[in-house]
Amino acid sequence: MPRRRRLSLDFDGLAQWKAFAKRRWKFLLFCLILSTLLEVFLFNLPFWQTLSASPSFEVLSSSNTQGLVMDSKKDAGAAGWNAAAPQVSIDLSSSHPIKYVQLIGAPGAKDGNGMQFRVESFLPGSDEAHPSNYWQLLNPSCPGSLYINASGTYKRILVQVRTDVGKPFAFYGAVINPRVPFDASPLRILLMLLVVILAVFLGPASPLYKMGLSLKSSFQISLIILSTLLLMAFYAGIWYIFEARRIYVGDAGGAPYELYDELAKSLLHGRVWLDLPVNPHLLALKNPYEPAARAKITGGGPIFWDCAFFKGKYYCYFGVIPALLLFIPYSLITGGKSLPTPAAVLLFALLDIFSLTLLIFKAARSHLKDCSPASCLLVEWISVIGCGLFFEVFQADTYAVPITCSIFFTFFGLWCWEMSKREKKGMPHVNSWWAFFGSLFMAANLGSRPQFEIASILAVAVFWRSVFKDRSLFSKKSILPSIFICLPYFIVFPLLFAYNHARFGSPFNFGNDYQLTTFDVTREKWPKMGTLSIVYYYLFEPASLQAAFPFVMEPLPDLQVWQWEGPWIGGLFSALAPGFSFAFLAPWAFSRRRKADTVSVLKDKGYGAFSARREMVSFMGFTLLWTILAVLADSYLAGLMQHYVSDFGAPLALIFACSSLVVLSMSSSNPKYSQWGYLLRLLLFSALLYSLLFHFFACFVNAGSGDIFNQVPRLYFHVKSWFLFLN
């Protein structure tokens, strides 16, 4: 009998897939045709424009360049040219309008870091050049970067190339109006296929929005699994193509990149300090935390910054639990091998996606009467992008390990708490083991990323009804669940405090006060006046966009007062995840005026029609408190840095998910709001596509120690060549 039921479910699932394909095949075909046209004709427009071009080669010499000196000691073809000044100007003329120019690099030219170019044009009959585009990057070792779009309007142009003094200019010729080859980029095709898949399944007209959520449907279960795997594959692809697994982030002899591996080795050998060599000159300093004093040290070995330094030993001030959870078991299983930091970040990021998927669908099934699977999937994609995972996976350094680990602890812990609320003999009941593991994961945040420990206050909203209504917690009839839900905090916290005491002599000192960083942590205090300005940058600073690749610019924050400032690309609501702005619909949706409308989409669990509404409002209220505390703590104690977005991006993702799912349910079930349903879905889907594209191109911004232009130039110029028709 069970086998027949399983077969029936499978056949039902196949039937639903066929029905879905029957309804969406025309739209799918349209999207595929449009993508093909974009690939063949738009992104390869230079190929079609130069198909009948008549290329002309011109040797670069002192007669047509300014600031160029030939190296007479070596052959010009092998050694290239040397720039006598940081800028070289190449004067090119043609009898036909110049559309494209191809620079020809000298054989063996490889070093092109820091080289830039710009085109200036001459009006007919004028000898005064006018800039016609932005300064852009090039690299002689990447042939695709040597094609220059000269607009095709003028017959005489000036190509200006910047390079450092003493570096080889590396170009001996130029081709005017070359024939640009056809390029079918696999990466570009995959990205367009991703957009097509999202449009087919999550576009505003998808029939999945008219379907009720049912986790017993094999069609919906397979859809959720495929969507989650696609989201994981997207992040794994970002991790792979940007070579996070190989890029070294940090100065040689500076911050130890594999810090968690060093910590794991120390713990396995019974030490709480890191086995790193200590420079004797550092020991001799009266105040080793002063950067100016450390900068004067010469010889004696490296000084490792971004470690805690206390009484002559190095310590890891990052949370210890990721080392216990991942790095030590990996070393034991593999016989002493080291787990690479980027691999740990990717693994935690995939677990973050998995846990957030579980949490969203569990919450939707438990608290909403009528919610579509497409709404949950759309909210899931936007939430994952907005909670800051993209940058953590792209950078994949030591700083990302505790952050991604705590995101997993928090989302998975909340899911366990939700799973603990059961019924037993028709009465509300809290399952002891689910409650225990939920609290265990939440308590573990203190040993990973302490900012996420604030999320434990959500237990008040999650279990409010259990404590004060049905008495399934903290009552005589619920002694065991009450003990189990509190026990992890009494286990984890004392162990972490003992670990701190063994290192720094105080249970409450995690090592932040002893950092070797860019300022003196023992003397310099953050100015309180700068806190609100950093909050503005974290949440609301607009994106800085430009018309040339990579289309995203690094804004220049003006903090007014000194505070730590890392590479930055824009605020969470205004640049990184504009979809999160829909969280501001929560006051509208849960206002007294719409109380009845909100209640109509929430499940009544036997405590009155408005009890479910109060429960969700309280949950969002406590989550908002978590958000405010996290963003204020980061703004005051840590400064401005892209890594810290996850600290408040994760709770904002929960607020966004709650408010958006309620509003989407109201728009699909309430005729009063159904006219706004399509527009709402369109705006959310557009916000998702924007976030994906913004984050992708932001990876190419030439900022920070892990910028792609210097680290992976072939990828940078491969993607830049997609937009040759624009530049």
At residue 68, the 3 state secondary structure works out as: strand
253: confidence class by pLDDT, cuts 50, 70, 90: very low
At residue 129, the 3 state secondary structure works out as: strand
173: confidence class by pLDDT, cuts 50, 70, 90: confident
525: confidence class by pLDDT, cuts 50, 70, 90: low
Structure-model confidence comparison of residues 119 and 135, the more confident one: 119
* pLDDT tops 50 at residue 78: no
171: confidence class by pLDDT, cuts 50, 70, 90: confident
Which range is least confidently modeled, 10-14, 447-451, 547-551, 651-655? 10-14
Percent of the chain with pLDDT over 90: 51
Q: For residue 678, give both structure tokens.
A: 């399509």
* pLDDT tops 50 at residue 70: no
Farthest-apart Cα atoms in the chain, separation:
96
Answer yes or no: are the C-beta atoms of 116 and 137 closer than 8 Å.
Answer: yes
190: confidence class by pLDDT, cuts 50, 70, 90: very high
At residue 439, the 3 state secondary structure works out as: helix
Q: Quick one: average pLDDT of 13-41?
A: 93
| pLDDT at site 194 | 96
Q: Quick one: average pLDDT of 535-545?
A: 90
Q: Quick one: average pLDDT of 664-683?
A: 90
701: confidence class by pLDDT, cuts 50, 70, 90: confident
74: confidence class by pLDDT, cuts 50, 70, 90: very low
Q: For residue 199, give both structure tokens.
A: 């449009």
| pLDDT at site 705 | 47
Structure-model confidence comparison of residues 576 and 567, the more confident one: 576
Strand partners, 89: 66, 160
CA atoms within 13 A on the CB side of 149: 21
Tell if the pTM clears 0.85, that is, is over it: yes
Provide the pairing of β-strand 100-105 with 87-93: unpaired
* pLDDT tops 60 at residue 346: yes
Structure-model confidence comparison of residues 147 and 133, the more confident one: 147
Q: Quick one: average pLDDT of 656-672?
A: 91
Mean residue pLDDT across the chain = 86
| pLDDT at site 79 | 42
* pLDDT tops 80 at residue 260: yes
* pLDDT tops 60 at residue 9: no
pLDDT in tens, 362-394: 999 999 988 999 999 999 999 999 999 999 999
| pLDDT at site 63 | 58
Answer yes or no: are the C-beta atoms of 370 and 640 closer than 8 Å.
Answer: no
Fold of 43-199: Jelly Rolls (2.60.120)
206: confidence class by pLDDT, cuts 50, 70, 90: very high
* pLDDT tops 80 at residue 401: yes
Q: How far apart are CA 611 and CA 492, in angstroms?
A: 34
Q: How far apart are CA 436 and CA 428, in angstroms?
A: 17
Answer yes or no: are the C-beta atoms of 89 and 62 closer than 8 Å.
Answer: no
The residue whose two tokens read 């206002």 is 591
SS (H, E, C) 248-311: CCCCCCCCCCCHHHHHHHHHHCCCCCECCCCCHHHHHCCCCCCHHHHHCCCCCCCCCCCCEEEC
Counts for the chain of helices (H) and strands (E), in that order = 26, 18
